Chains A and B, each alone.
Chain A
């Protein structure tokens, strides 16, 4: 990660595009699992998907 050219965004580490996509996927999975565990009885799962996609896009662009 450090040997590759990267940049500094709002994430606490220097990242390249692959890192940011990876972080987005990790968060996508985590948000969906936690949503299914705690929030799904009250809020449908597609909200988690929308939130994750938005967060992923934000991380890839500004992270």
Chain B
């Protein structure tokens, strides 16, 4: 009993901070989502709206499109980053000339603020100024104009995010690979297993917890991307790169539609939790069946 009280006392500051910075804001947003509250409306006071904000949400074509675009973006960036990150981590497990220089340079994008990444890519992609449109035209004959072609804008945002966040995935996987026990791999080699078999049957299952954690973090980050995309495309052309975060920002700040914006934020949180949980449950179910 006494040790339990001490435990709770030691936990109290952390719990207090979590309640103040996590639980209370969540409850506040949850409450606001049931009100009609717009500072620019004729009546700027909050008025009870029951589930109307959520009703409006599921019929809002622009918002549904932003969800679809965000899911597509998340799928592209997370899949690419995990594949690339794994390949790079495997490469860095080996010795090669200038490995330390390569590792340092490779990690640099991680240290740059997202807003600066967006600004840099914006400068690189402005037609008539940036090198990307110039070389794409010169080498491949591609007319690259972010503000005109939705596919190019979307691809650019995806490539920018991959460039920015792959080092994070690489470093996490590298840490996992460095801690893998070497005995099973050596035994498999002695038994005549091919490199591909060792990777599929030993390395990949052992790396599952690390991969899962990395994928969760990247999914959560990708679903709430705002600043990089805002700097590069401002959500355009039209609304072709207006992901959920940007859409919510537009509703909450310039339009001051707080009730509706809160409902959108809650749906985004719900989506993030469900996606991560489904992924986790799928992997746990497989483990359950195996045992």
Contact present for B270 and A13 (CB under 8 Å): no
Q: Separation in Å of the A12 CB from the closest CB of chain B?
A: 5
Contact present for B285 and A32 (CB under 8 Å): no
Q: Separation in Å of the A13 CB from the closest CB of chain B?
A: 5
Given A26-B274, A26-B277, is A40 in contact with B284 using a C-beta cutoff of 8 Å?
no
Q: What 0/1 readout, one digit per residue, does chain A (2-19) give for beta carbons within 8 Å of chain B?
A: 100000000011100000
Which residues does chain B contribute within 8 Å of A42, judged by CB atoms? none
Q: Which of chain B's residues has its CB closest to A14's CB?
A: B288
Contact present for B59 and A37 (CB under 8 Å): yes
Query: Interface size for chain A: under 10, 10 to 19, 20 to 34, or 35 or more residues?
Result: 10 to 19
Contact present for B281 and A13 (CB under 8 Å): yes
Contact present for A13 and B58 (CB under 8 Å): no
Q: Which of chain A's residues has its CB closest to B281's CB?
A: A13
Which residues does chain B contribute within 8 Å of A30, judged by CB atoms? 274
Q: In chain B, residues 270-291, which have Cβ atoms closer than 8 Å to a Cβ of chain A?
A: 270, 273-274, 277, 280-281, 284-285, 287-288
Q: Does A58 contact B (CB under 8 A)?
A: no
Whole-angstrom CA separation of A11 from B185 in the bound complex: 36
Contact present for A33 and B288 (CB under 8 Å): no
Whole-angstrom CA separation of A59 from B270 in the bound complex: 19
Whole-angstrom CA separation of A32 from B52 in the bound complex: 12
Of A12, A13, A22, most B-chain CB atoms within 10 Å = A13
Q: Does A60 contact B (CB under 8 A)?
A: no
Query: Interface size for chain B: under 10, 10 to 19, 20 to 34, or 35 or more residues?
Result: 10 to 19
Contact of B58 (CB < 8 Å), options: A2, A14, A26, A33: A33
Q: Does A36 contact B (CB under 8 A)?
A: yes
Contact present for B55 and A40 (CB under 8 Å): yes
Q: Which of chain B's residues has its CB closest to A1's CB?
A: B284
Contact of B280 (CB < 8 Å), options: A1, A14, A26, A32: A1
Q: Does B16 contact A (CB under 8 A)?
A: no
Q: Does A29 contact B (CB under 8 A)?
A: yes
Q: Which of chain A's residues has its CB closest to B286's CB?
A: A13
Q: Does A45 contact B (CB under 8 A)?
A: yes
Q: In chain B, residues 191-215, which have Cβ atoms closer than 8 Å to a Cβ of chain A?
A: none
Which residues does chain B contribute within 8 Å of A13, judged by CB atoms? 281, 284-285, 288
Contact present for B287 and A33 (CB under 8 Å): no
Q: In chain A, residues 20-53, which have Cβ atoms closer than 8 Å to a Cβ of chain B?
A: 22, 26, 29-30, 32-34, 36-37, 40, 45
Which residues does chain B contribute within 8 Å of A33, judged by CB atoms? 54, 57-58, 267
Contact present for B58 and A12 (CB under 8 Å): no
A and B contact pairs by CB, cutoff 8 A, 24 listed:
A1-B281, A1-B284, A2-B287, A13-B281, A13-B285, A14-B284, A22-B277, A26-B273, A26-B274, A26-B277, A29-B270, A30-B274, A32-B51, A32-B54, A33-B57, A33-B58, A33-B267, A34-B58, A36-B51, A36-B54, A36-B58, A37-B58, A40-B55, A45-B51
Given A2-B288, A13-B281; 7 other pairs, CB 8 A cutoff: A1-B281, A13-B288, A22-B277, A26-B273, A29-B270, A32-B54, A45-B51
Q: Which A residues contact B (CB, under 8 angstroms)?
A: 1-2, 12-14, 22, 26, 29-30, 32-34, 36-37, 40, 45
